[in-house]
Chains A and B, each alone.
Chain A
Amino acid sequence: MCLGVPGKVIAVKDDWIAEVDISGVVIDVGLQFTPEAKVGDYVLVHTGYAMHVMDEAEAMETLKLLEEMGAAAELPDGQIS
């Protein structure tokens, strides 16, 4: 039930509503909880509301960390970076 999906804000309309593109489907999403969201941002959408604006820098950092982790696992036994 707590399913949330990332979508891209493509337009901000009146009354706290934005149009958000979720994998090609555009839906109306409430921005009451993320008033800072602007066109071009990715937001987490849950039951028709944006619950958070994605932190792209953190997403990239996590991916970089995971890549390094996998590479580190290739090291000989006992060497955990």
Chain B
Amino acid sequence: MVKYLSEFRNPELAAGILRRLEKVSTRPVSFMEVCGTHTVSISKNGLRQAVPDNIRLLSGPGCPVCVTANADIDRMIAIAAQPDVILTTFGDMIKVPGSYSSLAKEKAAGSDIRIVYSTRDAVKLAQDNPDKRVVFYGVGFETTTPTVAMSILDARQKNVANYSVLSVHKVVPPAMKALLDLGEVTLDGFICPGHVSVVIGTRPYEFIPKDYGIPCVVTGFEPLDILEGVLMLVEQVERGEAKVENAYKRLVTTDGNKIAMETIHRVFEPGDADWRGIGVIPGSGLNIRQEFADFDAARLFAGVEVPPVKEHKGCRCGEVLRGVIYPYDCGLFGKACVPEHPIGPCMVSGEGSCAAYYRYDEKPRTGA
């Protein structure tokens, strides 16, 4: 019986793909992954070192926690301090520092902050605590957004009036466009995010080969998935082609999950979003529609005062997120900034590039 994990970790098949890569790859190329789960899997499985020397695997802005701007973390911390508020969040976000503090520090100082596994748990918490205001901190890409939209629909249907969401959700394709328009890194291909693509499908990437001449391959997270994706990119480059290909057909279709997409669009409308290291990208955010204003923490807590934003001195997370430097190239990496005492979000988050490289990667053979 197929279980969809161990089969895609087969070392003999991996060796076969690596041999094929050695044979097919004739020119130096740089590919970027834009998903934190890919970053971790590539680092953990030593794939940056395993691929032939002329293939560089760069990490981009793929960790939703890492790209959350300090201003958005500061706002959440200020809301958490309001009377009768229970702040709920996925665990990833809790330790990430804003300008002055983190949710973990605020929790220790007395704010009621709780980690939930699912948005369903947050709605349940609101039902169980009718005298409290339960706010869910909505961070994440298209994989996560449908579940947050569903929680708002659910809360409306069940008349849970004390539930709201602060949406700092982001969508991935506009960030890929922003990176290409910045022109700081020369890319020969994108390894497109597998589980974002489960929801959005492969179509939203088509502008990348069409307008920028850059190949894209959607792939999964096991070592064989990633190697197959890299091979498909190399083969496109070698043939002089640029198109969107799908190496994750067991989960990804051209159109994605239509119900999930409809759920997102029912509750959210496109807006601008502030990305750490990149800045405001038009159309890359998702705001809660007027129709659901009662569940929008941005409206409900609009009067809450937020202190002025301060960036962390010496932290180069912004450049790491844009793929301009490797984590090693930051002066703080592995010295002042380590997972036990992180300074920037890329070292805090389990899916941050700095944390992944610190835990698993050897220093690359060549600099960025």
The distance from the CB of B350 to the nearest CB of chain A, in whole angstroms, is 9
- Report yes or no: B141 in contact with A6, Cβ–Cβ below 8 A: no
Contact status of A62 and B36, CB under 8 A, knowing A1-B65, A32-B150, A80-B24: no
Contact status of A59 and B199, CB under 8 A, knowing A2-B36, A70-B19: no
Measured CA separation A34–B193 after assembly (Å): 20
Size of the chain A interface, CB-CB below 8 angstroms: 39
Interface residues of B in 119-147 (CB under 8 A from A): 119-121, 139-141, 143-144, 146-147
- Report yes or no: A49 in contact with B150, Cβ–Cβ below 8 A: yes
Partner of B195, one of A2, A30, A70, A72: A2
Candidate in B20, B140, B150, B194 with the most chain A CB atoms within 10 angstroms: B20
Can you name the residue of chain A whose Cβ is closest to the Cβ of B91? A1
Partner of B23, one of A32, A34, A60, A73: A73
- Report yes or no: A61 in contact with B147, Cβ–Cβ below 8 A: no
Interface residues of A in 60-81 (CB under 8 A from B): 60-63, 65-67, 69-74, 77, 80
B76 within 8 A of A: no
A56 within 8 A of B: yes
Chain B residues near A2 (CB-CB < 8 A): 35-37, 64, 140-141, 143-144, 193-196
The distance from the CB of A52 to the nearest CB of chain B, in whole angstroms, is 5
A46 within 8 A of B: yes
Measured CA separation A34–B256 after assembly (Å): 12
For the side of the interface on B, what is the size category? 35 or more
The distance from the CB of B195 to the nearest CB of chain A, in whole angstroms, is 4
Stretch at the interface among B1-9, B273-281, B286-294, B327-335: B1-9
Contact status of A1 and B2, CB under 8 A, knowing A32-B259, A58-B249, A69-B231: no
Chain A residues near B196 (CB-CB < 8 A): 2
- Report yes or no: A66 in contact with B250, Cβ–Cβ below 8 A: no
B368 within 8 A of A: no
* B interface, CB within 8 angstroms of A: 2-5, 7-8, 12-13, 15-17, 19-20, 22-24, 35-37, 63-65, 90, 92, 117-121, 139-141, 143-144, 146-147, 150, 193-196, 198-199, 224, 228, 231, 247, 249-252, 257, 259-260, 263, 351
Known: A1-B140, A2-B196, A69-B20. 7 other contacts (CB 8 A): A1-B37, A33-B150, A47-B144, A48-B117, A63-B13, A69-B228, A74-B16
Q: Can you report 20 residue pairs joining A to B where beta carbons are below 8 Å apart?
A: A1-B90, A1-B139, A1-B141, A1-B144, A2-B143, A4-B198, A6-B4, A30-B150, A32-B259, A32-B263, A42-B2, A42-B4, A44-B195, A48-B119, A48-B147, A49-B118, A49-B147, A51-B146, A56-B250, A73-B16
